[in-house]
Structure formats: C-alpha cells, structure tokens
C-alpha cells in the first residue's frame, strides 16, 4: 500500500493551508461572535477553484480527486469550519449531485456557475418532521403537467440565504412511499419561495443556516433531476459522498485543536518546566495524535475508494463516525490542556469545541452511521 501524496496533492494542500492562515484566520473569532457569513473568503475560495474541486473541467471545475478534497477540507477546517462547510456542501452535495445525475441542460445552466463560485448551492432534505428519516418527506410536489407545485418547509439548510441554487427533495406520490420522492432544482427568487430567519447556533455560527418555505412554488418540469421517483435514491447516493466531506471537516477541527494544544503545552510552564514535560499532558497528546491519524487514514481511504470507482458507503460512514467522535474528544482535551485560557475565545479552542459537535449530527447522526455500517457488514 502506498501512503505517499502526489506532488499535485501536496501543492493543493499547501495552497489550502496558506489560505486558511492568511485569509480565514484573521477575523474568524469576530465572524463567529457576530454570526457573519464569510462572504469575501468564500468568493476567494471560488476563485481558487475550491468550490468545484471535483467537477470536470468541461463544466468549469478543477477536475481534482477526492483525496485532494479531503486535504483541502482538513486545512480549511483547522481554522474556520463555517467556511469549510460551504466548500463541503457546494462540492460533495450540490455539484456532485448535478454532475452525476443532472441533464446536460441542467449542468450548463446550474453546474457551471456553481463550480466557479458564481453561485452557491444548498441541499434541502431535512424537515421539521423528517430529519434522519428521509423517507418521510412532508414537502409535496404536485405534478401539474408542465410544472410541479411545491409546498412545504425545509429545516437546517446550510447556505440557506446565500445560495442561488437549491436541490430540494419532495414527495410527489405519497402512496409509493420513498419511491414517490423527487429531487428538484429550485432557484432563489421563484415566486412563493421564502427564507426564514437565520438559526442562532452553538457552533459553525458563521455558516448560513435557515429554514426554507415553499408556498405554491412553480418548478418547471425540466428542473426535476432524474426519472420520476428518483429523488430518494438521489439523496442517499449524494449523501454518501457528503459524508467524506464532513469526516474531513471533523478531522480538520480535531487537527486544528491538537496543534493549538501541542504548541500551548510546549510554551506554558508549571513547576519550572513546560507542561508538555508532564506525563499526564504527554498521555493526552499521545492519544490525540493517534486518534487523529487513525481518522485521517479512514478519510483518505474513503476518498481513495471513491476515486477508484469502488463502493465507498461503508468507508465513508466509518470515517464520518470515527472522525466526528475524535473531533469532539480532541477539542474537549484541547480546552482542558489550555486550562482557564481554553475557556477564553482568543485561544480558539473553545470555538473548535463548539464547532466539533455539529459533525456528530449532520449528514446523518452517529447512530445513523452505525446503521449504515451494520447494513454493509451484514451483507457478508
């Protein structure tokens, strides 16, 4: 097995690392406090090609592999998970879904501007009564012949107000259950489409999270993705790739907290020596480093499998499950190592701890990931 990155992958990782340090880190605490979307930074991410990393060049994408995507997500998430989640959603949910399953007309109209960051995308599956249970869609799309009439509410939508293009799952044939669900491309500005207030969240506070409301929104027939009834399968297939991005985000949050804790432990002195020389702190750092490396390998394996065209659902869920738990454990320990300073915003680790929690919740909770993993292992 080869564990060496290519020269191109290392270069992309270094570009992302420099961007995170020079563009994301300044002002990250203020953006968190003010719940301010990193609009300027996201625009620059688009200019770098990071919002359409894995999209083919013919659709304005960078044509990069999933391994490079993991590397970029880790570096950005070390500093600002509110910015990295925009990269994650735009790449592995919206762009991926359109490129894999959209028509050529849909790709020309919607994918191309998304891939370069001219537009931002949102993936709309969760509802007040249908979070983890994606089969119970209450949002309805009535087939009216030339168009669908969309009614309902979506919750917890990342990029809720900043997006221009929304991929919306809705039920068209209730009698068919999950086989009656469709996926639609909805544009901001369509009559009857409104965005609710921004959610006041524990973490990733710069991320633009809103509820969306649809009241007799006319969606053209050509905006349906795939055949009639394809929506549930579309959502599940797209979320598989999304889990790699969230796993990499969790990895980055953990890695960022570990680096801060390691540097602090080398500088902070007690009883006449750096606390890094105390065995209790050394054991914490050893566990953190080991768990982060294990999470990194799981993320890279899932990405590699995807790049090879091999099944990766189990690997993605394992990576998401483990990396999110490592993120939570590592950030808590980073705060502990910092002591009282860890509770102060200027040291960054308290924010990373708050950001870590969401990685255990979105793209399917830890319990959902265990169900996916169990389903895969029981196939044998």
Q: How far apart are CA 120 and CA 161, in angstroms?
A: 10
The pLDDT of residue 119 is 98
For residue 191, indicate whether it is catalytic.
no
Phi, psi of 88 (to 5 degrees): -65, -50
Spatial contact of 184 and 219, defined as CB atoms under 8 Å apart: yes
The pLDDT of residue 339 is 97
Query: Could you tell me the pTM of the whole model?
Result: 0.96
Partners of 157 in the β-ladder: 210
Dihedral of the alpha carbons of 167, 168, 169, 173, in degrees to the nearest 10: -120
The pLDDT of residue 136 is 83
Catalytic, out of 23, 74, 240, 363: 363
Question: Which residues of the chain are modeled with pLDDT < 50?
Answer: none
The pLDDT of residue 101 is 98
The pLDDT of residue 379 is 84
The helices-and-strands tally (H runs, E runs) of the chain is 13, 10
Domains of the chain in sequence order: 7-120 (1.10.540.10), 122-231 (2.40.110.10), 239-378 (1.20.140.10)
| Sign of the alpha-carbon dihedral angle for 132, 135, 138, 144 | positive
Matching residue, tokens 């009282």: 340
């Amino acid at each position: 097995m080869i564990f060496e990155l290519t020269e191109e992958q290392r270069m992309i990782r270094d570009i992302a690392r420099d961007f995170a340090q020079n563009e994301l880190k300044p002002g990250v605490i203020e953006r968190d406090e003010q719940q301010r979307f990193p609009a300027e930074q996201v625009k620059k991410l688009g200019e770098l090609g990071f919002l359409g990393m894995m999209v083919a060049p013919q659709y304005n994408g960078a044509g990069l592999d999933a391994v490079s995507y993991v590397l970029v997500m880790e570096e950005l998430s070390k500093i600002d998970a509110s910015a990295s989640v925009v990269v994650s959603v735009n790449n592995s949910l919206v762009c991926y879904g359109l490129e894999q399953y959209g028509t050529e007309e849909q790709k020309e109209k919607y994918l191309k501007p998304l891939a370069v960051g001219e537009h931002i995308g949102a993936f709309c599956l969760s509802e007040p009564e249908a979070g983890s249970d994606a089969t119970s869609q209450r949002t309805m799309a009535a087939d009216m012949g030339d168009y669908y009439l969309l009614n309902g509410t979506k919750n917890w939508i990342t990029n809720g107000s900043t997006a221009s293009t929304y991929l919306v799952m809705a039920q068209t044939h209730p009698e068919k259950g999950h086989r009656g669900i469709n996926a639609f491309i909805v544009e901001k500005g369509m009559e009857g489409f409104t965005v609710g207030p921004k959610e006041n969240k524990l973490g990733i506070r710069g991320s633009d999270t809103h509820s969306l409301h649809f009241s007799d929104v006319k969606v053209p027939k050509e905006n349906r993705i795939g055949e009639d009834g394809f929506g549930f399968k579309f959502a599940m297939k797209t979320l598989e790739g999304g889990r790699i991005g969230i796993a990499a985000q969790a990895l980055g949050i953990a890695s960022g907290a570990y680096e801060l804790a390691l540097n602090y432990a080398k500088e902070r002195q007690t009883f006449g020596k750096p606390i890094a020389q105390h065995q209790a702190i050394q054991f914490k750092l050893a566990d953190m480093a080991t768990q982060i490396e294990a999470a990194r390998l799981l993320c890279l394996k899932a990405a590699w499998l995807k790049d090879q065209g091999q099944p990766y659902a189990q690997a993605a869920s394992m990576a998401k499950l483990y990396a999110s738990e490592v993120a939570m454990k590592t950030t808590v320990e980073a705060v502990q190592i910092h002591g009282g300073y860890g509770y102060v915003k200027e040291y960054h680790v308290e924010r990373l701890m708050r950001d870590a929690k969401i990685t255990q919740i979105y793209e399917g909770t830890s319990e959902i990931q265990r169900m996916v993993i169990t389903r895969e292992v029981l196939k044998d």
